[in-house]
Amino acid sequence: MKYARLTKEQFEELHQEFINFLASQTITASEWEELKKNKPEVAELELDVFSDLIWEGVLNQAKYLEHISPQSIHLFALNEDKMHLIGIKVKSDVDLSTTEGFNWLRENLMDDRVEFVQAQKAYSEERNLDKFTLIQQGANITKGELYNYMYKLIN
């Protein structure tokens, strides 16, 4: 398995897509029930393959990631050949993961306690795995509004 198995909730949300996936494998509903009962290892493999397919599609579409922690924000633009990072670090007791802390940041962007950094990193041979690793570390896929706002502000 390349990524991670989808959660029960994600499988429930993707129920129809999973049925279509099984159909593409020429597995009927009754055959699926039999696989789960008599060959659970094969059923598990099908769940893993489907999960990887879903993740691959999601990661191919992802253009921006955000990771917000109490003292820092990491904003990633996932360009074709490399990632661009805008990092924001706060040297204050402010918790950026709260609404109050984020509002403080908006009002104090030019304060000496707010530090900006930028960096670029080429992808490894497994571009989507690089993205997935960031998601596993707590980043969320976004539309990039905060990234684009900060990019314009500091460039």
* Helix-then-strand count for the chain, H and E: 7, 5
Encode pLDDT of 50-88 as tens digits.
999 999 999 999 999 999 999 999 999 999 999 999 999
Distance in angstroms (rounded) separating the CA atoms of residues 67 and 75 = 7
Residue 92's pLDDT is what?
86
pLDDT at 95: 95
**Over the stretch 7-46, which tens digit does the pLDDT of each residue have?**
999 999 999 999 999 999 899 999 999 999 999 999 999 9
Question: Please, what is the average pLDDT of the chain?
Answer: 94
| pLDDT > 90? residue 124 | yes
Confidence (pTM): 0.85
Decide: helix, strand or coil at residue 89: strand
| Res. 155: pLDDT tops 90 | no
Question: Which two three-digit tokens encode residue 118?
Answer: 């930028």
**Nearest Cα residue to 4 out of 39, 56, 40, 42:** 56
